[in-house]
Structure 1
Amino acid sequence: MAVRFETLKSVRVRDCGTMEEIMSRSNESMDNISFPHLHSLTISDNPNMVSFSKTSEGSSLFGGRFLCFPKLRVVELQGCNFEKIWDDDQLLPSSTSFCCLSDLELVGCPFLKYVFSSAMAVRFKQLQSINVRNCGGMEEIMSRSNESVDNISFPQLEHLIISDNPNMVSFSKTSEGSSLFDERTFISESFEEKANTTMPSLFNENVAFPSLKTVYVKGLDGLKMIWQYGRLSNNAESFCQLKDVKVKKCKNLMGIFSSGMHTRLGNLKWLKISKCEMVEEIFEMETSNCGIEEVAGKQEVLETVVSPDDEFVFPQLFKMELKSLPNLVSFYAGRHTLSFPLLGDLEVIECLKVKAFSGSELLSYQGRHESLFSTIFSTKVTFGRAWPCNIKLRKLPNLMHLMEEEEEESSQQQPQTLAFSYMIDLEVVECGRLENLVPSSISFQNLNSLMLTDCDEMLHLLSSQTAKSMTQLRWLEIRSCERMEEIISDAGVDHLKDSEIVFTLLDHLVLGDLPRLTSFYSGNYTMRFPNLKSLNVYRCLEMQNFSKHGITSTPILKNVFIGEESDLESELESETETESSSNWMVDINSIIAKHRTSHHHRSALQELSTEKGYGK
Structure 2
Amino acid sequence: GYPIAPFPLKKLELYKLPKLKCVWDKELHSQVKFQCLHSITVSKCKSLSSLFPTPVAIHLTQLEELEINESGIVELIEKDVIVLRDVFPRLTSLKLEHLIELKCIYIGRYALRWLALKTLEGAFPNLQELKLDLSEQMEILHGHFHDGEFFYKLKVLELHHFSKVSAISTCHFVQSLTNLEKLVVCKSHLEELSIIMGAIEGPSHEQKVLLPFSRFFQHLKTLDVSCCDELSNMFTLTIAKNLVELTKLRVSNCKMLMEVIHDEGGEEGLEVTFNQLKHMELDGLTRLRCFSSFKYTLKFPLLEDVIVSGCPNMEFFSGGSIEAPKLDRVQASTKAWFWKGNLNITIQYMFEEMAMVVGVKFMQLSEFLELIGKWHSKLNSIKLSWQLESLIVDKCPSFINGIPSKLMVLLHNVRRLQVHDCELLEEIFDLEGLEVVESTRVLPSLLFLDLINLPKLGRLWNNNLQGMLRFNNLFCLNLYNCSNLRHAFAPVMVRCLANLWWIEIKECGQMEGVIAEEEGQGSAMVKITFPSLCFMTLECLPNLTSFLSGKNHTLDCPKIYSLTIARCPNMRSLTWQSL
* TM superposition score category, shorter chain reference: 0.5 to 0.7
CA distance, structure 2, for counterparts of residue 75 and residue 420 of structure 1: 39
Alignment of 1:446-525 (within 5 A): 446-490=473-517, 499-523=526-550
Alignment of 1:370-385 (within 5 A): 380=407, 382-383=409-410, 385=412
Q: Per the alignment, do residues 83 and 424 of structure 1 end up closer, same or farther by CA in structure 2, a change over 3 Å counting?
A: closer
CA distance, structure 2, for counterparts of residue 508 and residue 471 of structure 1: 14
CA distance, structure 2, for counterparts of residue 512 and residue 459 of structure 1: 15
Kept in 2, the 8 Å contact 1:474–1:506? The answer is yes
Question: Is 1:357–2:402 an aligned residue pair?
Answer: yes
Kept in 2, the 8 Å contact 1:227–1:256? The answer is no
Counterpart of 1:431?
454
Between 461-470 and 37-46, report the one with greater CA deviation. Answer: 37-46
CA distance, structure 1, for counterparts of residue 255 and residue 496 of structure 2: 47
Aligned with residue 330 of structure 1, among 372, 376, 394: 372
Please list the CA deviations of residues 68-119 of structure 1 after superposition, one character each: whole Å capped at 9, or x if unmatched: 94654338794437998999xx9xxxxx952644556886899965716885
Partner amino acid, structure 1, of 2:372: S
Please list the CA deviations of residues 195-233 of structure 1 after superposition, one character each: whole Å capped at 9, or x if unmatched: xxxxxxxxx996997656786879xxxx76266999999
Alignment of 1:175-574 (within 5 A): 177=266, 225=289, 237-239=305-307, 256-258=313-315, 264-267=331-334, 289=345, 312=355, 317-321=360-364, 330=372, 333=375, 334-337=378-381, 338-339=383-384, 342-348=387-393, 356-361=401-406, 380=407, 382-383=409-410, 385=412, 387-406=413-432, 408=433, 410-414=435-439, 418-440=441-463, 441=466, 442-490=469-517, 499-523=526-550, 526-533=553-560, 534-543=562-571, 546-548=574-576, 550=577
CA distance, structure 2, for counterparts of residue 40 and residue 144 of structure 1: 27
Between 352-361 and 463-472, report the one with greater CA deviation. Answer: 352-361
- SS state at 2:459 partner: coil
> 1:529: how far off?
1.1
CA distance, structure 2, for counterparts of residue 216 and residue 290 of structure 1: 18
CA distance, structure 1, for counterparts of residue 449 and residue 393 of structure 2: 12
Q: Per the alignment, do residues 484 and 328 of structure 1 end up closer, same or farther by CA in structure 2, a change over 3 Å counting?
A: farther
Q: Per the alignment, do residues 127 and 435 of structure 1 end up closer, same or farther by CA in structure 2, a change over 3 Å counting?
A: same
Q: Per the alignment, do residues 173 and 72 of structure 1 end up closer, same or farther by CA in structure 2, a change over 3 Å counting?
A: same
Counterpart of 2:247?
155
CA distance, structure 1, for counterparts of residue 264 and residue 451 of structure 2: 50
CA distance, structure 2, for counterparts of residue 143 and residue 75 of structure 1: 24
Question: Is 1:144–2:228 an aligned residue pair?
Answer: no
TM-score by length of 2: 0.53
Identity of aligned residues (%): 13
CA distance, structure 2, for counterparts of residue 462 and residue 336 of structure 1: 32
> 1:349: how far off?
5.5
Counterpart of 2:156?
73
Kept in 1, the 8 Å contact 2:194–2:234? The answer is no
Structure 1 gap segments, 5+ residues each: 24-34, 54-61, 91-95, 180-203, 248-254, 269-286, 293-300, 362-379, 551-586, 589-616
TM-score by length of 1: 0.50
CA distance, structure 1, for counterparts of residue 246 and residue 127 of structure 2: 23
Q: CA RMSD of the aligned region, Å? A: 5.9
Counterpart of 1:98?
179
Between 464-473 and 435-444, report the one with greater CA deviation. Answer: 435-444
CA distance, structure 2, for counterparts of residue 474 and residue 111 of structure 1: 47
Q: Per the alignment, do residues 452 and 205 of structure 1 end up closer, same or farther by CA in structure 2, a change over 3 Å counting?
A: farther
For these two proteins, the number of residue pairs brought into alignment is 414
- SS state at 1:339 partner: helix
Please list the CA deviations of residues 453-478 of structure 1 after superposition, one character each: whole Å capped at 9, or x if unmatched: 21001122112221222222222222
CA distance, structure 2, for counterparts of residue 239 and residue 347 of structure 1: 24
Partner amino acid, structure 2, of 1:471: A
Partner amino acid, structure 2, of 1:426: L
Kept in 2, the 8 Å contact 1:342–1:383? The answer is no
CA distance, structure 1, for counterparts of residue 573 and residue 151 of structure 2: 84
Kept in 2, the 8 Å contact 1:514–1:539? The answer is yes
Counterpart of 1:127?
222
CA distance, structure 2, for counterparts of residue 49 and residue 412 of structure 1: 70
Kept in 2, the 8 Å contact 1:459–1:484? The answer is yes
Q: Per the alignment, do residues 357 and 207 of structure 1 end up closer, same or farther by CA in structure 2, a change over 3 Å counting?
A: farther
Q: Per the alignment, do residues 340 and 517 of structure 1 end up closer, same or farther by CA in structure 2, a change over 3 Å counting?
A: farther
> 1:145: how far off?
6.3
CA distance, structure 2, for counterparts of residue 424 and residue 75 of structure 1: 36
Between 444-453 and 351-360, report the one with greater CA deviation. Answer: 351-360
Kept in 1, the 8 Å contact 2:525–2:553? The answer is no
CA distance, structure 1, for counterparts of residue 520 and residue 305 of structure 2: 53
Q: Per the alignment, do residues 39 and 230 of structure 1 end up closer, same or farther by CA in structure 2, a change over 3 Å counting?
A: same
Counterpart of 1:369?
none
Q: Per the alignment, do residues 256 and 10 of structure 1 end up closer, same or farther by CA in structure 2, a change over 3 Å counting?
A: farther
CA distance, structure 1, for counterparts of residue 453 and residue 258 of structure 2: 36
> 1:163: how far off?
8.6
Counterpart of 1:29?
none
Please list the CA deviations of residues 350-399 of structure 1 after superposition, one character each: whole Å capped at 9, or x if unmatched: 666665421224xxxxxxxxxxxxxxxxxx454354x3222233444343
CA distance, structure 1, for counterparts of residue 250 and residue 476 of structure 2: 37
Aligned with residue 115 of structure 1, among 177, 197, 207: 197
Q: Per the alignment, do residues 316 and 162 of structure 1 end up closer, same or farther by CA in structure 2, a change over 3 Å counting?
A: closer
- SS state at 1:462 partner: coil
